[in-house]
Structure 1
Amino acid sequence: MKMIHDRGRQEYEKAVQEIAVEESSEQTQEVTQKSKVHVVNLPWSFSVADIKNVFGECGSVKSVEIVKQKNGRNRGFAFITMASEEEASAVVEKFDSYELSGRIIRVAFAKRLKKPSPTDPPVGETRHKLFVSNLAWKVRSSHLREFFSTSSNPVSTRVVFDSPSGRSVGYGFVSFATKEEAEAAISALNGKELLDRPVRLKFSEKNAIESVSEPEEADKAEGQPEEP
């Protein structure tokens, strides 16, 4: 049973990273999560109607979200929102470690996903970050680190890749411990060639959230390498 539970927990932890739940306010988030549970190791054949029928024994099931694979196949667990915190507690108490169609299911309160603070930089990067454009397609993070290490001590280096194709998009980011080090790197290396292309350096305009800063800065970057 422990093996089933551990495997189910691993699947759950992986899936919650893929689910974006948007709430209208912080207060709404707290209420929703207190009445929401996650169920692991459900029978693959279970539908929303089946889940409502089973867990409806403890009260009113407001919504059911079955987590599925990209091909649409049921992954064996779901998020269930009850009408109240008391009903959600009843679901956990009654159905955790409950045998359902030959499977031992596990039930627990759903964790509220913490949204990153708009002031927190991406992991491993600092606020003193440079936007590096006009990179050759072959440039990798190791090339950037070697390039900048000739005149400075970068904290982190990163080349950005296109998700669908896996190819470099021609720009990246380099972080430093202090603003002075970043300024010195611009003075020493802006316009210098890396793999036969002159790199362009400037301070990253929005260091906090990658999903916001990268598209905007990429749109402003000039002279990106043409596709081979």
Structure 2
Amino acid sequence: MQQVFISGLPYTASENDVQTLFEECGEILSIKLPRYQDSNRLLGYGHITFNDSDAIQKALALNGSQLGGRYIDVKEAKGTQSQKPSVPPPECHTIFVKNLSYDLNADQIGDSFRPCGKVANVRMVYNTVTDNFKGFAYIDFEDHQSVIKALQMNGKKVHGRQVQVDFDIKKPKAGFRYSTKQVEQQNKYNQEYQEIQKKKIKKEKAVQKVKKIKNFAETQKQISAQRNKQQI
């Protein structure tokens, strides 16, 4: 896996614009363009991951090309060997969610992702100066499969905002706020959710049982009617 670093991108550019410029270089595995949290505009740089080294050389040849009226710089990315894997490893139990509404609390964030699996913890990131929520958080699940399901939430709306979801394999950093009370509340919600699921499954089984009884009764009725005809 090979990667280039591009800078000088116009703030109004899109992933499709970058794709169009570099697609002839070779197979593109991913395009990552960081954006401002509030305006969703590009930060002006990004990374493109190609499938082979030949594509890298062709991409480097586009250094100085124009995109949206601006000249862009294309360089080989540093430390590509230490880049995180393209899929979450089995030991990964955490996702990173950004573009969340600023007025959400940990319970609301956790509830939004609870259908994906058991939420062990929600770590919200706050501005250390203003003490305001910065709009992104980390969610720890109890198992790896929940992470796989949660990644399918990428691009979907959570409380009116389209969120971006990715898996995270880094250790927690400073800036998170969570308490024992919050964890207890999350455990309570987990239990309530599991109870709801159990009742739902129990109800579905009861419905299936009734259907089987009705089908059996109808079958017996048809057999009885057939026997009566034969006797006549």
Query: TM-score surpassing 0.5?
Result: no
Task: Indicate the structure with greater helix content.
Answer: 2
Q: TM-score, normalised by structure 2?
A: 0.36
Q: Of the two, which has the highest radius of gyration? A: 2
